[in-house]
């Protein structure tokens, strides 16, 4: 056959949604204090090596596994597929992609049925599953919710060097782009992609990867996010707050970013918008728009761009990092994330160029905590 035409891939598995994640934590008790005592996630099961957690609207066994280990890392990002039959489809698809594919019998992971585990073409440890033990759904257990009630897992955000290539790979899995950030030289800095009818199940962040940027849980209302902030203040754990609370430009969600005791980033997120119709309009942001990441123009702390969690391969070893070749968002915008323009061609009353018009040549820095 004509070997210049890539062989047609077999059908891709039918992914429903981002469903759970497994994080390696170096101090299980410290992690338990953060995720259970502070965030109030529900312990479905636990032993001396692992804690299986769920949010209040989850009825599958867990949506987050904390596993004790020597090095903090992300060990799995798991997507639920529509039926057990989709596991064979997944195995065939990923074997055709030529990556490491393993089949784990039901029960290998507590509460979960058979799993197809792959190290995907981007280098991430991905699991596909359908079967899972049903446990009590705490949707209306307001007697245990608390004021910061977390409803469910919403999305993964992954750092990968080549966004167009990553987008193509996820489009092959039937994901669609809802929003992205680009510039007028066709560089793409980030993209948000979905299977369920919200803004994303996975977000692609341009950078050296594979690294896990964050796992996001959603609440039903903003006041739950505000309570989590107030509670962290009361516990003198405000240093767990990395970024926010605020209103995202992309997704329009209200957000908060926390760092757990191992530095894993957890987002608490609420009220993005419906994307379920086939002609859902894609929103494209200019990388210089300083309302893209925070609608109010609040600066993005540098650590949010630079820090992310190591991911493991299927043998539990840190995955090789690939450097990003395209320009980095922090390099082109950290100034624009500071106290700068919100209008493209701002001109001062005396006719001089405003800071954001790009005509002033002024240095646009981010005012850090020690600066007045
Ligand atoms: O900061 S962004 O507005 O680009 C953003 C939007 C949605 C997310 O889930 C996120 O982590 C970040
Ligand atoms: Ca802080
Ligand atoms: Fe997010």
Ligand nearest the Cα of residue 333 is 1
pLDDT value at residue 55? 98
Residues with CB under 6 A from ligand 1: 155, 157, 203, 216, 248-251, 253, 267, 269, 292-293
How many Å is the maximal CA-CA distance in the chain? Answer: 72
Beta carbons of 275 and 264 less than 8 angstroms apart: no
**HEC letters along 266-277:** EEEEECCCCCCC
User: Which bound ligand lies closest to the C-alpha atom of 232?
Assistant: 2
Residues with CB under 5 A from ligand 3 (ion): 157, 216, 267
Q: Which atom of ligand 1 is nearest to the CA of 250?
A: 3
CA of 21 to the centre of ligand 2 (A): 25
Q: What was the pLDDT predicted at 360?
A: 41
The per-residue pLDDT for 363 is 44
* Alpha carbon of 209 to ligand 2 centroid (Å): 25
Q: What is the ipTM of this complex?
A: 0.94
Q: State the pLDDT at residue 123.
A: 98
DSSP-assigned letters across all residues of 105-118: -TTSSTTB--EEEE
What is the full per-residue pLDDT of the chain (372 aa) written as tens digits?
Answer: 455 666 789 999 999 999 999 999 999 999 999 999 999 999 999 999 999 999 999 999 999 999 999 999 999 999 999 999 999 999 999 999 999 999 999 999 999 999 999 999 999 999 999 999 999 999 999 999 999 999 999 999 999 999 999 999 999 999 999 999 999 999 999 999 999 999 999 999 999 999 999 999 999 999 999 999 999 999 999 999 999 999 999 999 999 999 999 999 999 999 999 999 999 999 999 998 889 999 998 889 989 999 999 999 999 999 999 999 999 898 887 544 544 444 455 555 566 655 444 444 444 455 454 443
Task: Output the pLDDT for position 335.
Answer: 47
Give one DSSP letter per residue of 294-329, joined into a string.
-TT-PPPPHHHHH--EEBB-TTSPBPPPB---SPPH
**DSSP β-ladder status, 64-68 and 73-81:** unpaired
Q: How many CA atoms lie within 13 A of 35 on its CB side?
A: 34
Provide the 3-class DSSP secondary structure of residue 245: strand
Q: Spell out a b/e string for 216-251, using b for 16 or more CB atoms within 10 Å of the CB, else e.
A: bbbbeebebbbbbbebbeeeeeeebbbbbbbbbbbb
Between the CA of 352 and the centroid of ligand 1 the distance, in Å, is 34
**Residue nearest atom 1 of ligand 1, based on CA coordinates:** 293
Give the Å distance between the CA of 115 and the centre of ligand 2: 38
Alpha helices in the chain (DSSP H): 28-32, 85-96, 142-145, 163-172, 222-234, 302-306, 329-333
Q: What is the pLDDT of residue 332?
A: 80
Cα-to-centroid distance, 236 and ligand 3 (Å): 25
Burial (CB < 10 A; 0-12, 13-18, 19+), residue 76, is buried
d(CA 214, CA 73): 12
> Closest by alpha carbon to 265, among 300, 298, 221, 224?
300
Identify the DSSP state of 201.
Answer: S
Pairing of strands 152-160, 265-270: unpaired
- Rounded distance from Cα 150 to ligand 3 centre (Å): 15
Closest-lying ligand 1 atom to the alpha carbon of residue 216: 9
SS3 311: strand
Please identify, by atom number, the ligand 1 atom nearest to the C-alpha of residue 213.
11
Q: Whose CA is nearest to atom 4 of ligand 1?
A: 293
Atom 2 (ligand 1): residue with closest C-alpha?
293
Residue 257 to residue 323: CA distance in whole angstroms: 25
> What pLDDT does residue 32 have?
98
User: In this predicted structure, what is the pLDDT of residue 290?
Assistant: 85
> What is the pTM for the complete model shown?
0.91
216 alpha carbon – ligand 3 mean position (Å): 6
3-state DSSP assignment of residue 87? helix
Cβ-based burial of 21 (10 A; exposed 0-12, middle 13-18, buried ≥19): buried
- Length of the chain counted residue by residue: 372
CA-to-CA distance for 216 and 271, rounded, in angstroms? 13
Q: Which ligand ends up closest to the CA of 300?
A: 1
């Amino acid at each position: 056959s004509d070997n210049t035409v890539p062989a047609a891939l077999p059908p891709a598995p039918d992914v429903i949604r981002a469903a759970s994640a497994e994080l390696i934590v170096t101090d299980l008790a410290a992690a338990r204090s953060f995720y259970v005592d502070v965030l109030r996630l529900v312990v479905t099961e636990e032993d001396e090596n692992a804690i299986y957690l769920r949010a209040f609207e989850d009825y599958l066994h867990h949506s987050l596994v904390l596993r004790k280990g020597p090095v903090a890392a992300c060990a799995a990002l798991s997507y639920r597929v529509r039926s057990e039959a989709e596991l064979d489809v997944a195995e065939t698809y990923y074997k055709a992609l030529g990556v490491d594919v393993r089949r784990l019998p039901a029960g290998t992971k507590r509460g979960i049925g058979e799993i197809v585990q792959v190290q995907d073409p981007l280098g991430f440890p991905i699991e596909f599953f359908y079967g899972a033990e049903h446990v009590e759904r705490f949707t209306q257990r307001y007697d245990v919710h608390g004021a910061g009630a977390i409803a469910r897992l919403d999305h993964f955000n992954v750092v990968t060097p080549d966004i167009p290539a990553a987008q193509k790979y996820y489009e092959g899995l039937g994901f669609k782009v809802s929003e992205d950030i680009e510039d007028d030289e066709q560089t793409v800095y980030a993209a948000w992609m979905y299977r369920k009818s919200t803004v994303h199940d996975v977000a692609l962040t341009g950078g050296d990867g594979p690294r896990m940027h964050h796992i996001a849980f959603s609440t039903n209302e903003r006041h739950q996010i505000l309570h989590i902030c107030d509670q962290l203040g009361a516990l003198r754990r405000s240093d767990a707050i990395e970024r926010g609370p605020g209103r995202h430009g992309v997704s329009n969600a209200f957000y908060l970013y926390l760092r757990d005791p191992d530095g894993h980033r957890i987002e608490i997120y609420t009220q993005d918008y419906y994307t379920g119709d086939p002609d859902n309009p894609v929103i494209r942001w200019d990388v210089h728009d300083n309302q893209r990441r925070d609608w109010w123009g609040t600066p993005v702390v540098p650590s949010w761009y630079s820090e992310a969690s190591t991911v493991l391969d299927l043998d539990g070893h840190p995955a090789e990092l690939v450097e990003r070749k395209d320009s980095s968002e922090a390099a082109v915008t950290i100034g624009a994330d500071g106290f700068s323009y919100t209008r493209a061609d701002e001109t001062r009353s005396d006719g001089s160029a405003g800071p954001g018009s790009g005509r002033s040549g002024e240095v646009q820095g981010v005012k850090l905590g020690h600066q007045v």
